[in-house]
Amino acid sequence: EIVLTQSPGTLSLSPGERATLSCRASQSVSSSYLAWYQQKPGQAPRLLIYGASSRATGIPDRFSGSGSGTDFTLTISRLEPEDFAVYYCQQYGSSPTFGGGTKVEIK
């Protein structure tokens, strides 16, 4: 099983700032099969990024994904009020697993 470790656990930022979230895998993720999801309280997760860097339908271009192998990054270029949420990475190159999440909170 591939273990995904997300850091930091919590990110305290102000609207308009840049957010950089990290996801590290215990072994190489096949074919960059890495996704990012956003989850708000009481809601289901929403797909943001798939294939490490492709934005899902309807996702604003302030969200971008990068990385390969074992190190991946989600960047939110300028935080909007609706972006404060928990973010999860997921690998689906083998039996799917999720990271523990990063909470982006208002500073």
Q: Which is nearer to another protein, 7 or 18 (CB)?
A: 7
Say which residue the tokens 């928990």 belong to.
Answer: 86
Contact between 95 and another protein (CB under 8 A)?
Answer: yes
Q: Which residues contact 57 (CB under 8 A, 6 or more apart)?
A: none
Among 15, 60, 69, 96, binds another protein (CB under 8 A): 96
Query: How far apart are alpha carbons 66 and 105 in whole angstroms?
Result: 22
**Contact set with another protein (CB under 8 A):** 1, 33, 35, 37, 44-47, 50-51, 56-57, 88, 90, 92-101
